Structure 1
């Protein structure tokens, strides 16, 4: 367990500076966006006031209350989140492939450690999940700070303060990033972890068999997705979907997805021990 924790710490430390830089850039862009959006809103308000409109008339006939909900669908807000998501997806591959780069490939040192090779696999997966959770936690803090900043910029009569949960329910991306219930949290992030194991397995196939492994990995990803959705596909083919409640269909999908994840871990264990050599 100590070696596993050390491996996780090593993986997180290797990307810590980039992670902090990405979070700083996200916060800066979103704060600039809040400032620009608030100023644009107040310019519209001031123009209407100069035309003789009062506060209630402006809100009833021209503008809505300004809030973080209005800002959450702007490019200033969504753009940095999308870039961070793309960076995480890219890092899923980089976390393995950089270990094979250079003259003294780091992967050989990792695999020669006096610990189970599967610990290397899970340490990388754990590090990625910690990075994701760090980003999500930071975004929640950013939302609170940005809401306070917007409150300073917008007069009270035009500003509507809403909770983070309301923002997450309004914005489709945030709805998956910040789930509203424990069940949704387990479903979304559990599903994400299963996808992670499938991609890790495809990467190890490519590392084990090179060009043949690349094709094998792509076929494996397709087969894993087919396995996950097989209960739904089967019921649709048999025209039996209506015989089950939505919750029962969800349990079927979850079960098949967990099986796909377990198979991925087993294949990865085999590849690390039998095919990836030092």
Structure 2
């Protein structure tokens, strides 16, 4: 079975949960938007009657609301949890499904990259859906208050920049976008490496999660400690190069580590 067939298989398995996640996200956000518009309009009318109508609406106020942030945070967390579950579900039933995968006539790393591509497609799909939803919510927001002749301030881009999670998802420059996507990929690779190391140890010791986490913590902290030591000696451009090299090194090491345990150490 080649990579495309495995990828198609994984995508088919994730389609229903992903659609449920996106549907729940949109229902919560648009429902909260309606509540926000109604509440802010009533609040402005109260100020107007009191002779204090200097208050201006901002899309950033809506994006800073707890229901919106909570819905987005849960969606992102769900994708990260699925990056764990995409492996552990195949170990259910004493690992018989994983055993079938590992005994298929293909390289084991094909399984690794098929699952990685599935998670990245979920992530980019979530980002794309949320971007479209944000645009529609902004259109509804501005249309509503313009119709009510209520003053507004700030642009769409400014509103996004005020929220840390949105500025991470949709940075203003292409370079930052590439760096953020690489960081997301590395986070998924660390999760994959943790699962594969832990699954390789699970028949040998009860301390397997601690051991696997310790290995990854060492890999994670060595470059950070190196940066803390070199920080005073690096200029801005050199710091950017160092961060880029570290990100690439993290990606390479986690792929190598996950692949090694998948191909030579994994027990099912």
TM-score by length of 2: 0.90
- Structure 2 unaligned spans of 5+: none
Change (3 A) 1:149 1:112: same
Aligned partners of 1:143 and 1:93: how far apart in 2?
Answer: 28
Aligned length: 264
The aligned residue for residue 72 of structure 1 is 63
Cα displacement (A) at 1:32: 1.4
Aligned partners of 2:126 and 2:154: how far apart in 1?
Answer: 22
Cα displacement (A) at 1:103: 5.6
The aligned residue for residue 163 of structure 2 is 171
Aligned partners of 1:23 and 1:179: how far apart in 2?
Answer: 22
The aligned residue for residue 96 of structure 2 is 105
Tell me which stretches of 4 or more aligned residues in structure 1 moved more than 6 Å. Answer: none
The aligned residue for residue 154 of structure 1 is 145
Aligned partners of 1:103 and 1:153: how far apart in 2?
Answer: 56
Cα displacement (A) at 1:164: 4.1
The aligned residue for residue 217 of structure 1 is 212
Cα displacement (A) at 1:162: 5.7
Cα displacement (A) at 1:173: 0.9
| SS at structure 2 position matched to 1:154 | helix
- Structure 1 unaligned spans of 5+: 236-240
Contact 2:127 2:169 in 1 (8 A): yes
Q: CA RMSD in A?
A: 2.0
The aligned residue for residue 266 of structure 1 is 256
Aligned partners of 1:4 and 1:72: how far apart in 2?
Answer: 39
TM-score by length of 1: 0.87
The aligned residue for residue 23 of structure 2 is 24
The aligned residue for residue 238 of structure 1 is none
Q: CA offsets per residue over residues 232-263 of structure 1, 9 Å max, x none?
A: 1332xxxxx33321231232132123222212
